[in-house]
């Protein structure tokens, strides 16, 4: 008997609350976002599409594949990032970048030639970078790097 009453009560509550599920009223709040950090990698030279976060060093790693730095990656420190909005979000650049590191120097050889960095991922202190071959129809490789607490990468 108690189960039937409980079931009826739950059904009544769900019927009362269901009409509110399709409510199209404007919410009382509007999400906002403020740009607090920006780094531009030689505008016009290339674009980084892949970004991964390394918690221990408070850094992000980006792919770099430009004519002057093919098959590479770069570390960008977030340690000085504040919650203050950038004064000019379209031109300001307030993040510190490390050196561009060529993956090709670590994987070229034995008949393999790097043809570009495809993606990168970080798990704990291990970073994996997928590298396309030249020609791109050949098999690629995955390069692994150990990351220390400062974000330095070693093979």
Assess whether pLDDT exceeds 90 at residue 115.
yes
What pLDDT does 9 receive?
A: 42
Place of tokens 């990468």: 153
Assess whether pLDDT exceeds 60 at residue 38.
yes
Assess whether pLDDT exceeds 70 at residue 45.
no
Cβ atoms of 113 and 140 closer than 8 Å? no
Q: What is the mean pLDDT of residues 110-133?
A: 96
The domain locations on the chain are: 51-154
Spatial separation of the C-alpha atoms in residues 147 and 23, rounded to whole Å? 49
């Amino acid at each position: 008997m108690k189960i039937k009453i409980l079931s009826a009560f739950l059904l009544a509550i769900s019927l009362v609350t269901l009409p509110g599920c399709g409510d199209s009223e404007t919410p009382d709040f509007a999400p906002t976002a403020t740009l607090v950090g920006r780094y531009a990698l030689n505008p016009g030279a290339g674009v980084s599409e892949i970004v991964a976060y390394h918690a221990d060093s408070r850094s992000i790693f980006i792919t770099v594949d430009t004519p002057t730095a093919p098959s590479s990656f770069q570390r960008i420190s977030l340690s000085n990032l504040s919650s203050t909005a950038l004064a000019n979000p379209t031109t300001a650049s307030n993040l510190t970048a490390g050196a561009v590191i060529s993956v090709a120097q670590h994987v070229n050889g034995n008949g393999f030639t790097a043809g570009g960095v495809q993606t990168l991922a970080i798990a704990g202190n291990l970073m994996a970078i997928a590298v396309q071959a030249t020609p791109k129809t050949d098999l690629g490789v995955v390069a692994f790097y150990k990351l220390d607490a400062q974000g330095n990468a070693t093979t």
